[in-house]
Amino acid sequence: MSKTFYIETFGCQMNAHDSEKVIGTLERQGYAQVQDEADAGLIVYNTCSIRDKAEQKVFHRLNEYKRMQGEGKRFAVIGCVAQQEGEKIFEKAPYVSLVAGSASYRNLPQMLDRLEAGERRITGLDDRQTDETFETEFTARTNPHRGYITIIEGCDKFCAYCVVPYTRGKERSRTSASVLAEARRIVDEGYTEIQVLGQNVNSYRDPSGRMSFAELLTALGQMNGIRRVRFTTSHPRDFTRDIVEAMDATPTLCDHIHLPVQSGSTAVLQAMQREYTREWYLERMSWIHGAKRDISITSDMIVGFPGETDADFEQTITLLGAVRYDSVFAFKFSPRPNTPAVAMEDSIAEEVKTERLRILNERQREIQREHYGRHLNQVLECMVEGTNPARGQVVGRSSQNKTVNFVMQPGQPAPAVGSYLPVRITRTLPNSLVGEAEAGPVFVPEQRQRSPLVVLQ
């Protein structure tokens, strides 16, 4: 087996950042990344099991790889589907040599040694008892403008519909000292924006007892060289007022909170085992609405959970109007393996789920069309993420995590990726903003070279 590898990543930003750390580990072990699986000695498939039929998609993709099994290649399946399916992957795809869940990534160097020694079936399937996190100084940071830091792994919430506690293990946090040390390394590499990650990022508990989550955010935001700090994803049960207070007091903390609600009905929330009520959630919304800053709120919602009545669904629709989200990611309920919801009668007809999803998305589009209008004629600082040559536009992102497509002034040079500049908003759309670059100071961070990361949704 040649020491080259190709990696594909499915799913969330946690998976994408896991891949950055896996890439760094592989490179530390002497492997070289290639951009075509045909050139790779090792093909790594980083999987996600959140969505419906995730495991079928995995095996479909593995079947596509089957044609290459006689070429001296090895195959590795890692991530959530690996943890969920375990050794069944070997049975369905016998040409796979390594199966590892995310809680076992810290053992990758030893597993790679065994793979190179000729072992044909290697597993890394940790149970929920591990207290260790995957920390490495050899992260291959592939995003050209944002550095990611995982501060907490796993989940202890056990929502009835969610597979994450079974595939990611129990909640385990890194020390604040290790997080701040990694942030310092990222800034020294030239990054000016950091995003801290966790399945429930605000459930962070510093093992050293030195900092709360809000205090850690503040410390990151005050670090010399930092211009923006983001965090995702938060859980309402652990969302505390001091988080909003930290955002008000620390300008570098971005004006955006993603706080998944899942349903606007307390009865459905109880069935989902979400550990809060509609009133609890709305109280937290009042904290955010009462902030000194205009904080963008986004959320996740599920329609058609077992037992959801028309009245329950109407509660979700009225919640949209009460909160006025800037964006909602909405999905139809589908049972996931090993979760309590599997045993529930899926009593909502598929056509009813489809219709409820349509109604929810349509109402949210109406809200966004009106709510985005508040940005008209505002001047927003935007970080440049790329260009759209077909439209002659620069693609940027605001502190509120909104996409801003804008044009430069005549004679202005094209801005570098990762630079910041003021943009006046001239038009608002339901999912993005349109504007023109203002004459003003442009901040350009040190340039970095980054290889692309293949992320498939």
Q: Which tokens hold the place of 27?
A: 């490179």
Q: Is residue 446 part of a domain?
A: no
- Which of 100, 131, 162 is at the close of a domain? 131
- Provide mean pLDDT across the span 54-74: 82
- Provide the β-strand partners of residue 370: none
Q: Are residues 289 and 321 in the same domain?
A: yes
Location of structure tokens 């903003």: 433
Answer with the residue of higher pLDDT: 397 or 139. Answer: 397
Q: Is residue 450 part of a domain?
A: no
pLDDT over 90, % of the chain:
77
Nearest Cα residue to 306 out of 342, 277, 348: 348
Q: Are residues 382 and 351 in the same domain?
A: no
pLDDT band at 143 (very low <50, low <70, confident <90, very high): confident
Q: Is residue 197 part of a domain?
A: yes
Q: Are residues 91 and 164 in the same domain?
A: no
* pLDDT of 413 strictly over 90: no
Q: Are residues 383 and 368 in the same domain?
A: no
Which pLDDT tens digit goes with each residue over 164-201?
999 999 999 999 999 999 999 999 999 999 999 999 99
- Provide mean pLDDT across the span 236-247: 98
Q: Are residues 36 and 81 in the same domain?
A: yes
Distance from C-alpha of 394 to C-alpha of 391, rounded to nearest angstrom = 9
Torsion of the alpha carbons at 16, 180, 398 and 420, rounded to the nearest 10: -110
Q: Is residue 65 part of a domain?
A: yes
Nearest Cα residue to 195 out of 238, 152, 150, 258: 150
pLDDT at 1: 64
Preceding omega of 277 cis (within 30 degrees of 0): no
CATH number at 62 reads 3.40.50.12160
Q: How far is CA 166 from the centre of its chain?
A: 18
CATH number at 279 reads 3.80.30.20
Q: Are residues 70 and 54 in the same domain?
A: yes
Q: Is residue 453 part of a domain?
A: no
State the SS3 of 155-185: CCCCCCCCCHHHHHCCCEECCHHHHHHHHHH
- Provide the β-strand partners of residue 198: 152
Q: Are residues 173 and 118 in the same domain?
A: no
* pLDDT of 456 strictly over 50: no
* pLDDT of 342 strictly over 80: yes
Q: Are residues 153 and 225 in the same domain?
A: yes
Cβ pair 391, 405 in contact under 8 A:
yes
What domain range is 213 assigned to? Answer: 147-373
Number of domains in the chain: 3
- Provide the β-strand partners of residue 48: none
pLDDT at 446: 62
Q: Are residues 284 and 217 in the same domain?
A: yes
- Provide mean pLDDT across the span 313-326: 98
**Angle in degrees, 0-180, between the axes of helices 213-221 and 176-188, rounded to the nearest 10:** 20
Cβ pair 457, 8 in contact under 8 A:
no
Ramachandran class of 258: left when φ > 0, alpha when ψ lies in -120 to 50, beta otherwise: beta
Cβ pair 154, 171 in contact under 8 A:
yes
Q: Is residue 12 part of a domain?
A: yes
Q: Please, what's the b/e burial string for 45-65 (b: 16 or more CB within 10 A of its CB; e: otherwise)?
A: bbbbbbeeebbebbbebbeeb
Start-to-end C-alpha separation, the chain = 29
pLDDT band at 454 (very low <50, low <70, confident <90, very high): very low
Cβ pair 406, 435 in contact under 8 A:
yes
Q: If residue 257 lies in a helix (H) or strand (E), which one and from where to where?
A: strand 256-258
CATH number at 416 reads 2.40.50.140
- Which of 97, 131, 165 is at the close of a domain? 131
Q: Are residues 211 and 346 in the same domain?
A: yes
Q: Is residue 296 part of a domain?
A: yes
Q: Is residue 53 part of a domain?
A: yes
Cα–Cα–Cα angle for 389, 8, 10, rounded to 5 degrees: 85
Q: How crowded is residue 227: how many other Cβ atoms within 10 Å of its Cβ?
A: 20
Distance from C-alpha of 17 to C-alpha of 38, rounded to nearest angstrom = 24
Q: Are residues 228 and 352 in the same domain?
A: yes
pLDDT at 455: 40
For the entire predicted model, the pTM comes to 0.91
* pLDDT of 289 strictly over 70: yes
Which pLDDT tens digit goes with each residue over 82-102?
999 999 999 999 999 999 999
pLDDT band at 151 (very low <50, low <70, confident <90, very high): very high
**340 burial via Cβ count (<10 Å: 0-12, 13-18, 19+):** middle
Cβ pair 198, 151 in contact under 8 A:
yes
Q: Are residues 122 and 209 in the same domain?
A: no
- Which of 354, 373, 392 is at the close of a domain? 373
